[in-house]
Chains A and B, each alone.
Chain A
């Protein structure tokens, strides 16, 4: 139990589908993150939300759309993805967006077919 819960754990979607990944943190943190983990690549930071405002968006294609309705929940909406988007998507949280320890969820394995 990490305090950061992600659903679904596994998702297979077609390139024309629309789906969403959900993340919930039970740690009382103010910052939440989406990372992408692909084989043989560093963990890529996608988005950062601090106090429900997006503070970082690392040139992520618009087919990925984050949403942070409150400080405990974070979504990643997926639309018209490509096979190269298949990866492990990790949600994380930290006390605040200031170089603190980040706590990760178990990830959502996404396969785009």
Chain B
């Protein structure tokens, strides 16, 4: 069965700091990879996704993630965070067949002025 690990439970950064959130997955086959974000009081929404092709994926709001197959990782990055990036970030993975998304526990990001 697939699983997803997000090692950081809570990350606190100052504005303009660089961000990297770790995500590792466990699955034996070809995967689709996702990052979702949940801003305070809002619904979960897609930040970016990787299905195939260029392993460096760019998403909304300046976020990007890199799929490193050999490390089973899909880390999320942003070069300079803003206060408005304060949210909970969820990594998710599914197989490419009939398998549902499996989510990590989430990482809470707090950006302080």
Contacts and interface: CB of A to CB of B under 8 A. Distances in A.
A48 B99 CA distance: 10
21 contacts: A33-B100, A42-B102, A42-B105, A42-B106, A43-B103, A45-B102, A48-B100, A50-B98, A97-B98, A98-B96, A99-B94, A99-B95, A99-B96, A99-B97, A99-B99, A99-B100, A99-B101, A104-B43, A104-B44, A104-B45, A107-B43
Interface residues of A, number: 24
B89 interface: no
B4 interface: yes
A49 to B, nearest CB: 11
Given A40-B105, A101-B34, A55 B49 contact: no
B84 interface: no
A98 B105 contact: no
Interface of A: 2, 33, 35, 40-43, 45, 48, 50, 55-56, 90, 97-107
User: Helix, strand, loop or mixed for chain A's interface?
Assistant: loop
B92 to A, nearest CB: 8
Contacts of B104: 42
Interface residues of B, number: 25
Contact of A45 (B36, B98, B101, B106): B101
Nearest to A100: B32
Given A48-B100, A56-B100, A99 B32 contact: yes
